[in-house]
Copies of this chain bind each other. A is one copy, B any other.
Amino acid sequence: MGDDKTRKYVLPESEMPEAYYNIQADLPVPLPPVLHPGTLEPVTPDDLAPLFPMSLVMQEVSTEREHEIPEPVQDVYRMYRPSPLIRARGLEKALDTPAKIYYKNEGVSPPGSHKPNTAIAQAFYNKQEGVTKISTETGAGQWGSALSMACAMFDIDCTVFMVRVSYDQKPYRRAMIETYGATIYPSPSDQTNAGRAILAEDPDCLGSLGMAISEAVEVAALNDDTKYSLGSVLNHVLMHQTIIGQEAIKQMEMADDYPDVIIGCTGGGSNFAGLVFPFIGQQLRGEANARVIAVEPAACPTLTKGPYAFDFGDTAHLAPVVKMHTLGSTFVPPGIHAGGLRYHGMAPLVSHLLDLGYIEPVALHQLDVFAAGVQFARAEGIIPAPESNHAISAAISEALRCKEEGSEETILFNLSGHGHFDMGAYIAYMGGQLVDYDYPEEEIAMALAGLPVVSVEAVGD
């Protein structure tokens, strides 16, 4: 299908995958249990029912390899999927590398990132169970805009709690969410008990993702017609993203190629898992092999520096306790511009696979990753999201290694989104106002002091 001119490998809509891939089916060792944040006992589906529709709760614990994508979800996917696999010929030329570089462009979705892949599915499953309202939180805004678009498609009311500092700094992201018809509040807000309590202590509080989660969860817990939705970390969220990697496998076949190295950036882990899980699945089943690299910010080095231990998923300790790489649930990462990567923990599935030896983690500084993003923009046209710049930077390093070694390897990375709503970060970078953060050793040591929340022996893992 491809020749030496081809830039894009585009699947027809008829070739779009019709089932999600559930990597739990292929794990050599099952995932550790998820614990209730109050009792520290394994959670039951009933514990989660107030927050999520039962179909998503069941996906969370499923070990079936394939979950059919419902036709109404496929119908909305077809607005932007299959997404293109692009041969980065401009970047290869700029680097003068013998390596072949490919990237999956998830920035083509209307809100501009991979997030709609799960937002659309979650909106559908909620709608199917009669849910009329969904609440969620958003930090940088990629998730909030994806869910508000999905809710517009399925005629569901959407309430978004946006971390106040982002709400104030990113009026355009906020405007996108409102254009899709959602209601948006800066968090902490006066809409919830959690928010009011925080504001009573500090009326000028800038907010955090942990606080916004508490507000969104409270709204769902206290209102029968409202469910809660999360944009990363959970097993079902990662499973919905596997459409990325499944498409990429077909597109690499179109290109008559297979990756030697697969790269994604990791915050909660969803875009990374979406690309790499179908490839790791091939490896787990003995069908193929590739190196898999997870790229995180040096300012929030969860996978490279955090212990693999049971910890809370959120600051307020309302979310379940899971076994993951963590910097401690009270750790507040420095204010790097890749807001989507500022999470103290990691998706349990990603941590589990790292622990089993299937993933190489690497931590990068933000000046290096922005330099990579600018080089990419001038060679490939697309201005990437700051999160995606982490993956690009690692891909460039691999391509330069290939150049040094004279090795014609094939590199594949996930371009999780575009940077149109992050140009403030580029302004800061070009104006010399960005700094690299040292590893926040002391803060992390303090946040880790209380760990593990519960010992592995106590839960029989």
Give me the 5 closest cross-chain CB pairs, A-B, nearest first: A110-B381, A172-B423, A7-B78, A420-B420, A175-B423
A367 proximal to B (CB < 8 A): no
Q: Knowing A110-B383, A427-B175 touch, does A10 contact B10 (C-beta < 8 A)? A: yes
Q: Could you list some 13 contacts between A and B, CB below 8 A? A: A5-B13, A5-B78, A7-B75, A7-B78, A10-B13, A79-B380, A149-B381, A152-B378, A153-B381, A175-B424, A179-B377, A180-B377, A420-B421
Q: Which residues of B contact A383 (CB under 8 A)?
A: 110, 176, 179
Q: Which residues of B contact A451 (CB under 8 A)?
A: none
Say whether chain A's binding surface is mostly helix, strand, loop, or mixed: helix
Interface size class of A (residues with CB under 8 A): 35 or more
A178 proximal to B (CB < 8 A): yes
Kindly identify which residue among B75, B89, B111, B427 contacts A5, using a CB–CB cutoff of 8 Å.
B75
Kindly identify which residue among B89, B172, B180, B427 contacts A378, using a CB–CB cutoff of 8 Å.
B180
A33 proximal to B (CB < 8 A): no
A334 proximal to B (CB < 8 A): no
A73-127 interface (Cβ within 8 A of B): 75, 78-80, 86, 89-90, 108-112, 116
Kindly identify which residue among B90, B180, B181 contacts A153, using a CB–CB cutoff of 8 Å.
B90
Complex CA gap A423/B178 in Å reads 11
Q: Most chain-B CB neighbours within 10 Å: which of A7, A79, A378, A381?
A: A381
B381 touches A80 (CB 8 A): yes
A382 to chain B, nearest CB (A): 5
Complex CA gap A148/B128 in Å reads 48
Given contacts A7-B13, A175-B426, A176-B423, 17 further A-B contacts (CB under 8 A): A7-B78, A10-B12, A10-B13, A75-B89, A79-B380, A79-B381, A109-B381, A110-B381, A110-B382, A110-B383, A153-B381, A171-B423, A171-B424, A172-B423, A175-B423, A179-B378, A420-B421
A296 to chain B, nearest CB (A): 24
A446 proximal to B (CB < 8 A): no
A330-386 interface (Cβ within 8 A of B): 374, 377-383
